[in-house]
Amino acid sequence: MMTLPPPLQTEFNDKLEQHEKELNMPFLSTIEEMAEERGEAKGEIKGARKTCRNNIIKILANRFDSVPELMSDSLKKIDDMTILENLLLASISVHSLAELQKLIDAELQQNQ
């Protein structure tokens, strides 16, 4: 990757900013657009994981009054959406928090 000396970089940035104002639109290179799209996709996945974890905790809190911090921390270690979705479904039907913790522990051991 080529970098410009600081004075030329400043001049380039100024001219680019002026050009963007004249066109009334920002200039994004193809690489910047791809990076932006990848960042958005990563953010969506991260948000889906967080939502799934939160839903598991909400269901358990509703069913069992409270959720141990250890269980919440264990859930944060799981990134695989398929596993999180399976745990979400299990959270609806398990008979105890200990039963779900066993499922979580089994998943964590398999992925080590």
pLDDT in tens, 31-44: 777 777 888 888 88
**Confidence check: pLDDT of 106 > 80:** yes
In a domain, 15, yes or no: no
- Contact predicate 77/44, CB 8 Å: no
Rounded CA separation 99/63 (Å): 13
Give the residue numbers spanning the domain of 44: 34-110
Q: Which pTM does this prediction carry?
A: 0.67
In the numeric block, which tokens belong to residue 52? 């799934």
Rounded CA separation 23/36 (Å): 21
More confident residue, 73 or 30: 73
Mean pLDDT of the chain: 87
Task: Burial-class residue 1 by CB neighbours within 10 Å (0-12, 13-18, 19+).
Answer: exposed
Domains held by the chain: number = 1
